[in-house]
């Protein structure tokens, strides 16, 4: 169940409590997120929408351990990440977060296989085990036969599928998608969303996704709107006062 | 686990145009570095190889070179009877020598250069057994004949077998060319010491040095003890190889210092080249670096990765620098020997050890040039860099 009122059960996979994020630009303080609460269970697929500058990406960065909040806490699978050192946070990201970016962010000089293998280099898996995992991940996204291609030899949709394979290959606790279809045409965007949806439904992945596209947002179990630093519910699955089932 | 090295290799290859500046800078610096050291090494090797561990050089006590030495004929006779000296069928293997200078035109420019004339005893080839007559024959004692070192014969005008040259007050026929194995003797002209002294109006009762062939290398101490404790003598006894090694010090220090200074100036430029290349690599690949950081690679992994990349570039530069100077190996050049003020021919000597030093020098430049950009890469704000175009 996804809740934004801070009343979620204590064993939710992701718990956000009283999250504030303030930036200082020149002499001015800009509050991007204000006292934000969020509970996400395992297997939930939540979308975030909102106008530019509303704090969507900031929230995603905080959830992914790429940025630290001004106040408040984020707990993932019982680990509070807001108190972690930079080094710990780096290790935590490797283990728990799968990132999917708008611009795919594949390493251009590495093949699809090598790109997908990157997160596994941080594990203790042997070379043959890594190969097996990479092949499986590329099979899931339907690109097993293109594993030796470089990003420049792939279409945008294919590149994003490789990026998804990279995000899931180490079996992270949750996936963070920042505008995953923002750079794709409608057909490719639909294919990517179908794939992400399949990851949630068939593989039980937990997905948090930022998007500008209402069509894409509809694929989420619940879409939350960020406005002036506050989270507002507007889910399509019968949102109740405090959450959605 | 570190970022795979294939990432760095392919990144360098993909950005070869901006990498080439750093590679060229490092290659040039390493080339100069090795060339200078090989020059110093060649000079030293030439002089050192002139000496033999089996020979001892006897000079006036306190003299810093043969040029400032003088050993009277009475002393030479005492020396000949000293213990520790090898003896041949004709007596003790001793050569009392005179060192003189003669201006002879260079073949290359036609201008005069000082050639070292060495007046020697007729048995000199038995004492310096590594020296062989390669063309013609040995001079005959009592005749105005000279033999010429192989480098001198190709450097100076008229020093060919059969030719006659003017030396001092007389004319001398070149009767042979000798090979001294690339040592300083190859740049000299040898003749009968008595006649050469006469031609230059020098007293025949005074030699500048005496070289003796030891009964064994270990006999040096016995000879030294005998000669230095003899109240009739006032001489220093040095193993010949040590004498020539010491003679080379001033010039090798000069070449090494000058070469080191030039290489250091160039190294500063090369380090800036590497810095520039690596900073632009970091700037161009901000999103890639941020992606790796987001995936879980730590700051240390990024620093190591970019340092490896800088080392890779400098290794290629160093390798090219080494290859570029290899053709210099064995190339003969000449310079003034400040100990004798004569022209000395010697060859660049590029050894495997020098090449290793060149590569280490290149890697040092790469590491210095790569470290700051690598630290900058590790400190990139991940969240911001992830969204760079």
Judged by CB atoms closer than 8 Å, whether chains meet at B291 and A101 is answered as: yes
Q: What percent of chain B has pLDDT over 90?
A: 54
A43's torsion region: left (phi>0), alpha (psi -120 to 50) or beta?
Answer: left
Domain membership of residue A75 (yes or no) is yes
Q: Is the pLDDT reported for residue A1 higher than 80?
A: no
Domain membership of residue A242 (yes or no) is no
CA angle A70, A75, A79 (to 5 degrees): 120
User: What is the pLDDT, as a whole number, of residue B340?
Assistant: 63
Domain membership of residue A7 (yes or no) is no
Sign of CA dihedral A3, A9, A15, A17: positive
Residues B1-26 have pLDDT tens digits of 678 888 888 888 888 888 888 899 99
- Mean pLDDT rounded to a whole number for chain A: 89
Domain membership of residue A245 (yes or no) is no
User: What is the pLDDT, as a whole number, of residue B300?
Assistant: 92
Judged by CB atoms closer than 8 Å, whether chains meet at B298 and A91 is answered as: yes
Q: Which of B287, B288, B296 sits opposite A119 (nearest CB)?
A: B296
A57 in reach of chain B (CB within 8 A): yes
Residues B300-338 have pLDDT tens digits of 999 999 999 999 999 999 999 999 999 998 887 777 666
A93 in reach of chain B (CB within 8 A): yes
- Residue B181, CB half-sphere, CA atoms under 13 Å: how many? 12
- Chain A nearest-CA distance from B382, in A, is 7
| Interface predicted TM-score (ipTM) | 0.89
Query: How many structural domains comprise chain A?
Result: 1
For testing contact with chain A, the best of B291, B303, B378, B389 (most A CBs within 10 A): B291
Domain membership of residue A81 (yes or no) is yes
- Mean pLDDT rounded to a whole number for chain B: 89
3-state secondary structure of B2: coil
- Chain A nearest-CA distance from B15, in A, is 11
Q: Is the pLDDT reported for residue B128 higher than 80?
A: yes
Calpha distance B238→B211 (Å, rounded): 10
Alpha helices in chain A (DSSP H): 56-63, 86-96, 112-117, 127-140, 156-168, 186-201, 214-217
- Contact by Cβ (8 Å): B178, B149: yes
| Tally of CB atoms within 10 A around A83 | 11
3-state secondary structure of A27: coil
All residues of chain B having their beta carbon less than 8 Å from the beta carbon of residue A89 are none
Residue A159: domain span? 14-236
Q: Is the pLDDT reported for residue B387 higher than 60?
A: yes
Domain membership of residue A3 (yes or no) is no
All residues of chain B having their beta carbon less than 8 Å from the beta carbon of residue A176 are none
Q: Residues in chain B whose beta carbon is closer than 8 A to a beta carbon of chain A?
A: 1, 3-4, 6-7, 10-11, 13-14, 287-288, 290-299, 382-383, 386-387, 389
CATH number where A133 lies: 3.40.50.300
Residues B108-124 have pLDDT tens digits of 888 888 899 999 999 99
Residues constituting chain B:
389
Q: Is the pLDDT reported for residue A133 higher than 50?
A: yes
Q: Is the pLDDT reported for residue A242 higher than 50?
A: no
């Amino acid at each position: 169940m996804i809740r934004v009122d801070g009343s979620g059960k204590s064993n939710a996979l992701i718990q956000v409590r009283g999250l504030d994020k303030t930036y200082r630009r020149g002499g001015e303080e800009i509050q991007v997120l204000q006292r934000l609460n969020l509970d996400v269970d395992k297997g939930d697929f939540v979308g975030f929408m909102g106008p530019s500058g509303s704090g969507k990406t900031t929230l995603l960065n905080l959830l992914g351990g790429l940025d630290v909040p001004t106040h408040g806490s984020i707990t993932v699978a019982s680990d509070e990440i807001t108190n972690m050192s930079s080094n710990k946070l780096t290790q935590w990201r490797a283990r728990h977060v799968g990132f999917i970016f708008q611009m795919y962010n594949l390493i251009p000089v590495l093949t699809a296989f090598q790109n997908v293998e990157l997160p596994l280099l941080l594990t203790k898996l042997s070379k043959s085990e890594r190969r097996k995992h990479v092949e499986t991940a590329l099979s899931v996204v339907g690109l097993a036969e293109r594993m030796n291609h470089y990003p420049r030899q792939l279409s945008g949709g294919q590149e994003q599928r490789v990026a998804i394979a990279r995000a899931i290959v180490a079996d992270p606790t949750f996936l963070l998608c920042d505008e995953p279809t923002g750079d794709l045409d409608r057909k490719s965007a639909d294919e990517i969303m179908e794939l992400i949806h399949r990851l949630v439904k068939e593989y039980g992945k937990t997905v948090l996704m930022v998007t500008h596209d209402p069509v894409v947002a509809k694929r989420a179990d619940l879409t939350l709107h960020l406005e002036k630093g506050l989270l507002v519910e507007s889910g399509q699955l019968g949102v109740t006062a405090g959450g959605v089932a | 686990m570190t970022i795979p090295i294939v990432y760095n290799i392919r990144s360098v290859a993909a950005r070869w145009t901006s990498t080439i500046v750093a590679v060229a800078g490092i290659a040039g610096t390493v080339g100069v570095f090795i060339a200078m050291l090989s020059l110093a090494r060649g000079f030293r090797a030439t002089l050192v190889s002139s000496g033999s561990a089996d020979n001892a050089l006897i000079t006036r006590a306190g003299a810093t070179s043969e040029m400032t030495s003088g050993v009277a004929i009475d002393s030479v006779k005492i020396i000949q009877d000293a213990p520790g000296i090898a003896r041949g069928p004709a007596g003790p293997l001793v050569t009392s020598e005179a060192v003189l200078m003669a201006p002879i035109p260079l073949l290359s420019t036609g201008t005069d250069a000082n050639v070292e004339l060495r007046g020697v005893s007729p048995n000199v080839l038995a004492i310096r057994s590594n020296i062989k007559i390669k063309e013609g024959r040995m001079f005959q004692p009592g005749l105005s004949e000279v033999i010429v070192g192989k480098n001198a014969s190709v450097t100076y005008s008229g020093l060919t077998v059969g030719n006659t040259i003017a030396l001092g007050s007389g004319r001398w026929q070149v009767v042979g060319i000798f090979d001294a194995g690339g040592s300083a003797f190859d740049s000299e002209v040898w003749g009968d010491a008595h006649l050469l002294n006469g031609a230059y109006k020098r007293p025949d009762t005074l030699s500048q040095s005496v070289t003796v062939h030891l009964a064994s290398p270990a006999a040096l101490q016995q000879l030294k003890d005998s000669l230095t404790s003899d109240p009739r003598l006032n001489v220093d006894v040095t193993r010949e190889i040590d004498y020539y090694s010491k003679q080379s010090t001033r010039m090798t220090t000069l070449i090494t210092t000058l070469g080191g200074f030039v290489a250091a100036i160039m190294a500063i430029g090369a380090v800036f080249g590497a810095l520039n290349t690596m900073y632009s690599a970091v700037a161009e690949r901000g999103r890639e670096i941020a992606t790796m950081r987001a995936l879980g690679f730590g700051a240390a992994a990024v620093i190591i990765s970019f340092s490896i990349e800088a080392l890779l570039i400098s290794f290629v530069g160093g390798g090219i620098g080494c290859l570029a100077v290899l053709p210099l190996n064995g190339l003969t050049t000449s310079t003034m020997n400040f100990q004798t003020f004569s022209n000395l021919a010697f060859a660049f000597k590029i050894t495997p050890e020098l090449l290793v030093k060149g590569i280490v020098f290149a890697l040092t430049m790469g590491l210095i040039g790569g470290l700051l950009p690598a630290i900058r890469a590790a400190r990139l704000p991940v969240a911001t860099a992830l969204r760079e175009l």
